[in-house]
Amino acid sequence: MARENSCLSRIAAGAAVGGALGCAVGAVYGTYEAFRFRVPGLMKIRYIGKTTMGSAAIFGLFLGAGSLIQCGK
């Protein structure tokens, strides 16, 4: 029982770290792209937010999956 709980907390921690890293990368990349493609006015905020959330979800998913794989060993 203690091992399962430890594994679950490692998966959650991996997903949280991945989400935080994805937010940072997505915000930087989204800002760069918004200015590169000359997104008009307040649409920049929406574009940056969309890129940030998408990147956070993908990074979180993959780091959580990696932590799950490591728990099996």
Q: pLDDT per residue over 44-66, tens digit each? A: 999 999 999 999 999 999 999 99
* Residues spanned by the domain of 54: 2-71
pLDDT bracket for residue 4 (50, 70, 90):
low
Enter the tokens of residue 15: 């997903």
CA distances from 69 to 2, 22, 65, 72 (A): 18, 20, 6, 5
Reply yes or no on whether the pLDDT at 1 is more than 60.
no
Domain total in the chain? 1
Report the chain's C-alpha Rg in angstroms.
Answer: 16
